[in-house]
Structure 1
Amino acid sequence: MAYLQGKLTRVAIYARMSTRDKGQDPKNQVHQLRAFAKQHGTLYKVFTEEVSGGKSNRSEFNLMLLEAYQKKFDLVVFWRLDRFSREGALPTLKYLKELRDHGVNYKSFTEPYLDSLGPFGDVIV
């Protein structure tokens, strides 16, 4: 089991797809993200939705943020940054900073440099 600051790490998964015709399937994402999450702690919850990442009113995304701010989990993993958000650079960086400000780390499955626990964690945001 993985520990973060002396306690067992609770890991949330966020998976999103926007269109059915581009080979995007949150089930495929979730399958690999579950194994990835288990490498980092215990699975807390999976947040999955089929909606454009360019919208700020994504219900599962907003629920994930709320539960992060309530400290219900310690780490959120996602497939890649454009699956997390496509609202543009500034809003996306704002979300990542807010997660860190609330004590929640993040990791991208396909982009190892997007890892708030890694050596460049503070540099990314």
Structure 2
Amino acid sequence: MALKTAIYMRVSTADQSVDSQRLELQEFIERRDDLEPAGEYADVISGTREKRDQLDRLMIDARQRKIDVVVFFDLSRLTRKGLSHAISLLDEWQQAGMRPICYSYPGLDFTDEAGIGNWHLGRALSQLEPPPDRQASLRAQRKVMAALLAWMAEQERKMIQRRIKAGLAARKAKGKQQGRVPLPMKTVNYARRLRQEGLSYAAIGQKLKISKGNAFNACQA
């Protein structure tokens, strides 16, 4: 009997779309004879937020045994809060009887024999003794992989934040520099004359090889 499989998707803002995630995950389920579609759950919210309407609905349906498996695109769609949050979510899913599949990382597929049953990632990482058999080894490998990928997702979020801050700082510094360098009076007078002739600020900027904003400032000076 095919496993009832849900799709979980997430984007951060309303101007983003889950369509690309949906297409890939639907095709993935279609290719698997052991899976059958059982609904879609899509949140529009930051991955750092723990409270999510659709994720909560997914958990309710899982506890009611409406879902056997949940497929998500990658760990960054699941969480951006790092290892502890990833462990918590994946453990909750397993305890609710729902087996996770991470589409982007085939090793994180808990629908086979090695992935069935409760698993606790935190304990697995803290146990240094070698696993007693191959199945235990496979479980341990998947858990370590999940931890590493969650850490990578957290680092990616921090990197994006750093890039945004750096970009804002660079634009701010550039704006200050431009503001401190006045246009030559000859350019200012020429800009005013062109404006009186009916040219737009954009046209004045193009003619004088200055920005539209500087053209406006020259005419207002």
Shorter-chain TM-score: what band?
0.7 to 0.9
**8 Å Cα contact 2:59-2:96 kept in structure 1:** no
How many residue pairs match? The answer is 117
Alignment match, 2:150: none
Matched, 1:46 2:72: no
Q: Does 1:37 align with 2:14?
A: no
Match of 1:88 in 2: 82
- 2:87 counterpart of 1:102: no
Which fold has the larger relative contact order, with Cα–Cα distance below 8 Å and residues 6 or more apart in sequence? 1
Work out whether residues 69 and 111 of structure 2, in 8 Å CA contact, stay in contact via their aligned partners in 1: no
Helix, strand or coil for the counterpart of 1:56?
coil
Q: 1:13-42 CA deviation, whole Å, 9 max, x = no partner? A: 001111467xx6311100110111222421
Deviations 1:82-101 (A, max 9, x none): 10122321121121112112
Spell out the pairing of 1:1-125 with structure 2 (5 A cutoff): 7-19=1-13, 25-38=17-30, 39=32, 40-118=34-112, 121=115, 122-123=139-140, 124-125=142-143
3-state DSSP of counterpart to 2:43: strand
Residues 9 and 120 of structure 1: CA distance in aligned 2, closer, same or farther (over 3 Å): closer
Alpha-carbon distance between aligned partners in 2 of 1:81 and 1:74, rounded to the nearest angstrom: 19
More strand by share: 1
Cα distance in 2, alignment partners of residues 63 and 86 from structure 1: 20
| Bigger share in helix | 2
Q: Partner residue of 1:3?
A: none
Q: In 1, Cα distance between the equivalents of 2:111 and 2:68?
A: 11
TM-score by length of 1: 0.82
Q: Distance in 1 between matches of 2:13 and 2:59?
A: 23
Take 2:60 and 2:80, find their aligned partners in 1: how far apart are those partners? 19
Root-mean-square deviation (Å): 2.0
TM-score (norm 2): 0.48
- Aligned with 1:14: secondary structure? strand
Shift, 1:120, TM fit: 5.9
How far apart in 1 are the matches of 2:18 and 2:108?
20
Amino acid aligned to 1:27: D
Is the 2:5–2:71 Cα contact (8 Å) retained in structure 1?
yes
Gaps of 5+ in 1: 1-6
Unaligned runs of 5+ in 2: 116-138, 144-221
Instruction: Give the residue type in structure 1 aligned to 2:20.
Output: N
